[in-house]
Amino acid sequence: FLFLVSVVLARIVPVFILPLFYKIVPLENVELKERIIRLAGIAKMKIENVFSFNMSKTTKKANAAFTGLGKSKRVLLADTLLENYSLDEVETVLAHEFGHYKKKHSIKNILFGTLFSFLTLFLIAKLYSFSLPFFNAEKLTQIFVLPVLALWGMLISLLIQPVSNIISRKFEYEADEFAVTTTGKHEAFLNTLDKLTKQNLGDREPHPFVEWFFYSHPSINKRKNAILSFINNNVEKI
């Protein structure tokens, strides 16, 4: 059930939900659209819908996304990205997003999310039942032990969060490699990462434990080092 809900949301959010919060219009920059379509062709993807949206109404951060499933698939470019980045830089950002699609990260995230949700609920149920005798509770629904339910939920979520983030960071590295390989514009991509970190107020080098536990994306310095290492080891492919 959770998997089906995730799939349905992935299809309807870009088409019906996002327009409720942002003004989404077809991309006006013809050259950029042609670049995106050409890039999609190189990646053996079919792209028809390319839009921009007014992200500046809520934040100064820049972003782009390749979202949706099936016929709802579309490219979304924030106006904050279009106004502050060169065409090469925007292209590398999209190549990164295409990398998530080509590597099937969205589907994997849905599957992992479903698995983690099931595991969380299963453990909560078992541990909650195990805890009841310690509070002289006879029923699961007795109000005075419900805080125990919440406590187990928080503890289990804390344990699962680092595992989920490790997987997410691995996906980011894979998408970075795809972007560099597909565009051949590693300098533009490295420059883009620097600009995005500054614009989005990111921490270039957080404490290792903080990054391991809380970060779904690798820190900018680790991403740049990984890209440079990948380039040095795969010169012929780039």
Please list the active-site residues: 97, 176
106 contact partners, CB below 8 Å, separation of at least 6: 10, 69, 100
Q: What is the full DSSP assignment across 6-39?
A: HHHHHHHIIIIIGGGTS-EEE---HHHHHHHHHH
Question: Is 74:146 a contact under the CB 8 Å cutoff?
Answer: no
Question: Can you read off the two tokens belonging to residue 9?
Answer: 């949301």
DSSP-H helix ranges across the chain: 2-12, 30-42, 79-84, 87-102, 105-131, 146-183, 186-199, 208-214, 220-233
